[in-house]
Amino acid sequence: MCLVTDAVACARRGQKTPDGYHNIERVLKRFASASHKILLCRTCKDARGLAEADLTDGAQCSAMDELATELLDPDKVIVF
């Protein structure tokens, strides 16, 4: 999974969501626990003021070349 632009905020640690709303952090943790990669655009993360310590377990920063390689042959594309 590759998170770019504002989607990098989905990987923020310690999300507090109201009852009835999805907690994206929990979804990403479950995804990562199944040995899937969660890559964040480092430039997008930095532009939004997120530090490495702010990221949920399993999320890692990546350079654009690695993100592009991962995006060449995806099984699914989810846009939100």
Coil/strand/helix, residue 29? helix
C-alpha neighbours within 13 Å on the C-beta side of residue 26: 6
Q: What token pair was written down for 62?
A: 């990546």
- Band (pLDDT 50/70/90 cuts) for residue 34 is confident
List residues bridging with 55 in a β-sheet.
12
Residue type at 4? V
Instruction: Read off the pTM.
Output: 0.77
pLDDT by residue (tens digit) across 57-74? 889 999 888 888 888 877
Query: Any idea where the domains of the chain sit in the sequence?
Result: 2-71
Topology, domain 2-71: Hypothetical Protein Ychn; Chain: A, (3.40.1260)
- Provide the residue type at 42 as one letter: R
Confidence of residue 79 (pLDDT cuts 50, 70, 90): low
Burial of 11 (0-12, 13-18, 19+ CB in 10 A): buried
